[in-house]
Amino acid sequence: MNYDMRRFVDKTVIITGAAGGIGLAAAERLAAEGANLTLVDMTGDGLARAKEKILVNHPETKILLVEADVTKEYQVRAYVDKTVGEFGAIDGFFNNAGIDGGQYPLADYTKDLFDKVVDINLDGVFLGLKYVLQQMVAQGHGRVVNTASIGGLMGWPHQYGYVASKHAVAGLTKATAGEMGPKGITINAIAPGGVKTAMAIEAMRTINPEHPEEAEAAFAARVPLKRMALPEEIAAVAAFLLSEDASYINAQIIAVDGGQISQS
């Protein structure tokens, strides 16, 4: 895709969960708009592949890869410190890494699974905010986008850790925005509906292992636009919220769901 906008020239953005899905789509979008990027994910291989893919279309992009688990405080500090060491500032932060944890009736939803999902989806987001925002406060500016979900705006059965953690991300977004607004920093969250990434494809397989395409069709039928989103469509909204175009949007949870929750 070609973009006319170059909103991120001389700006640095950290993206977590950048090896695939929405995170990688955001990295490609921001690279197209001139950003320097720090890509954070668990696997060095995945990160190397992401970098290769971005450089095909945007060979001039400056990219720092940091292998880190967002639940480990010292690794979060490291991706912040390495970014500042390499680029000197953090203008934007896409706090996006997450897992869905699968779907089980409450009685079968183990405490270990609940803790794991909350650890990544909530504690990981909290730690990112805690350390990135210290740098942004020191700079006096910054834009943060947390990835929640429509599961942070409504409930559905069987994804207990996921729905609970995404509601908490929405709350954390509003609470931190209150402290950071006076310091020149905006903090918003996006709440995607179903997006065609590895996570959603796996979820469709869980619902209907024989015919995942039927699970996807049933899902799409509940969405006014009658389809799932492409990762690029979520990335476009994240890029907007990270840009100066969104300078007066703060503490919002923006649904990007094709109208799905409006019909529930």
Ligand X SMILES: NC(=O)c1ccc[n+]([C@@H]2O[C@H](COP(=O)([O-])OP(=O)(O)OC[C@H]3O[C@@H](n4cnc5c(N)ncnc54)[C@H](O)[C@@H]3O)[C@@H](O)[C@H]2O)c1
Q: How far apart are CA 85 and CA 137, in angstroms?
A: 17
Contacts to ligand X from residues 36-55, by CB under 6 A: 41-42, 46
Q: Is residue 200 a contact point for ligand X (CB under 6 A)?
A: yes
User: At closest approach, how far in Å is the CB of 263 from ligand X?
Assistant: 17
Indicate if 74 belongs to the active site.
Answer: no
User: Binder to ligand X among 20, 92, 128, 258 (CB under 6 A)?
Assistant: 20
Block residue for tokens 């995945």: 46
Choose one: 7-15, 16-24, 30-38, 53-61; the region binding ligand X (CB under 6 A): 16-24
For 254, which DSSP code? E
Q: Does 194 bind ligand X (CB under 6 A)?
A: yes
Torsion of CA 65, 77, 181, 238, to 10 degrees: 20
Which one of 97-105, 126-134, 205-213, 236-244 is the stretch in contact with ligand X (CB under 6 A)?
97-105
3-state secondary structure of 189: strand
Shortest approach of ligand X to residue 150 CB, angstroms?
Answer: 7
Asked if 97 interacts with ligand X (CB under 6 A), we say: yes
Contact with ligand X (CB under 6 A): which of 78, 99, 217, 236?
99
Q: 176 is written with which tokens?
A: 């931190």
Q: In angstroms, give the least distance from the CB of 201 to ligand X.
A: 9
> How many residues form the binding site for ligand X (CB under 6 A)?
28
For residue 13, CA distances in Å to 45, 113, 236 come to 21, 31, 14
**H helix or E strand, kind and range, residue 41:** strand 36-41
HSE (side-chain half, CA atoms, 13 Å) at 256:
24
Label residues 34-46 b or e (16+ Cβ within 10 Å = b): bbbbbbbbbeeeb
Q: How far is the CB of 83 from ligand X (least distance, A)?
A: 15
Interacting residue ranges for ligand X, rule: CB under 6 A: 16-17, 19-23, 41-42, 46, 69-71, 96-99, 120, 124, 147, 149, 192, 194-195, 197-200
**Catalytic residue positions?**
162
